């Protein structure tokens, strides 16, 4: 069966390739420590079979490969796998796969993990049920996704015109996301959705960095990636964007990200 996937400012848009790559690179220092902590708490060890869904970078794949060792398996999937070549060696396998449209690429996984992936999928219920189906009895699912509506500001400390501009551009970005079908409050729904999918022992936690060099790198790449759409939609002017990018480069802004909600549970 096939379903239409909703893309945000896609990694397959040629004109935005560099910015998309920079955004993915920024996710590692921002979110890897939280992701790794949660996965380790789930008991990850040698010999585990793991499915990394909609992989958005190589850092999690490489870390999982080291943890499961030569007797384990890490299956990394996504709608674009061209950038996964550097990690495509045992115990890592790389498959082209759309979690919002395709059947699971395997079964009896000890761990299934998706980070910042499902919010871009139109049929999220299908995707979650597919991920649960892929688990062995007792297997763990960890889903991590953003909730921009929970904390919508680029600069939570809005004390001057530069911070106001940053927040106005963040609002414009959120408007573009909404127009593309992104659920800005999806992250907070994950605990309920995991319970509805039949998982037990569901827990969740929110995390967002307030100031970090990676926040600035992510902001710069994001604004550059959506610049034309912001201007053509009359959500910002080119002058606004140039001024904001200069402010980011100067280091004068305390930039935050949207919260990432991590939710996990166990299959009976």
pLDDT of 32 above 70: yes
Domain boundaries, the chain: 14-266
What band does 18 get if pLDDT is binned at 50, 70 and 90? Answer: low
The predicted structure's pLDDT at residue 2: 31
Per-residue pLDDT tens over the stretch 127-171: 999 999 999 999 999 999 999 999 999 999 999 999 999 999 999
d(CA 202, CA 265): 4
CA–CA gap between residue 264 and residue 19 (Å, rounded) = 30
- For 252-261, the pLDDT digits (tens) are 999 999 999 9
Q: What is the mean pLDDT of residues 177-199?
A: 95
For residue 26, what pLDDT is reported? 84
Q: What is the mean pLDDT of residues 35-60?
A: 95
Q: What is the mean pLDDT of residues 231-241?
A: 98
User: What pTM, to 2 d.p., does this model score?
Assistant: 0.91
Confidence of residue 83 (pLDDT cuts 50, 70, 90): confident
The greatest distance separating any two alpha carbons of the chain, rounded to the nearest whole angstrom, comes to 56
Q: Which two tokens stand for residue 151?
A: 């904390």
Residue whose entry in the numeric block shows the structure tokens 């045992």: 90
Per DSSP bridges, beta strands 260-266 and 200-207 are antiparallel
What's the pLDDT at 89? 95
pLDDT score of 5: 37
pLDDT of residue 57: 83
User: For residue 186, which of 100, 255, 122, 264 has the smallest C-alpha distance?
Assistant: 122
Q: How far apart are CA 216 and CA 235, in angstroms?
A: 21
For the domain made up of 14-266, give the CATH fold.
Rossmann fold (3.40.50)
Does the pLDDT value for residue 10 go beyond 60? no
Report the chain's mean pLDDT, rounded to a whole number. 91
């Amino acid at each position: 069966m096939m379903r239409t996937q909703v893309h945000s400012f896609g990694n397959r848009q040629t004109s935005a390739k560099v910015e998309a790559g920079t955004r993915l690179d920024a996710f590692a220092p921002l979110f890897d420590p939280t992701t790794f902590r949660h996965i380790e708490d789930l008991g990850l060890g040698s010999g585990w079979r793991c499915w990394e869904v909609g992989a958005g970078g190589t850092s999690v794949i490489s870390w999982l490969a080291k943890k499961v060792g030569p007797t384990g398996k890490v299956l990394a999937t996504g709608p674009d796998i061209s950038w996964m070549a550097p990690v495509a060696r045992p115990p890592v396998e790389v498959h082209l796969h759309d979690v919002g449209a395709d059947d699971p690429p395997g079964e009896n996984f000890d761990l299934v993990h998706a980070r910042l992936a499902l919010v871009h999928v139109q049929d999220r219920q299908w995707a979650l049920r597919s991920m649960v189906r892929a688990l062995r009895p007792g297997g763990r699912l960890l889903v991590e996704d953003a909730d921009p509506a929970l904390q919508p500001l680029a600069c939570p400390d809005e004390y001057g015109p530069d911070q106001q501009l940053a927040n106005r551009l963040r609002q414009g970005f959120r408007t573009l996301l909404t127009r593309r079908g992104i659920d800005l409050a999806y992250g907070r729904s994950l605990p309920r959705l995991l319970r509805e999918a039949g998982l037990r022992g569901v827990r969740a936690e929110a995390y967002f960095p307030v100031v970090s060099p990676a926040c600035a790198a992510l902001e710069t790449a994001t604004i550059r990636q959506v610049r034309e759409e912001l201007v053509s939609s009359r959500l910002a002017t080119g002058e606004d964007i140039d001024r904001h990018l200069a402010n980011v480069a100067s280091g004068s802004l305390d930039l935050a990200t949207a919260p990432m909600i991590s939710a996990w549970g166990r299959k009976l």
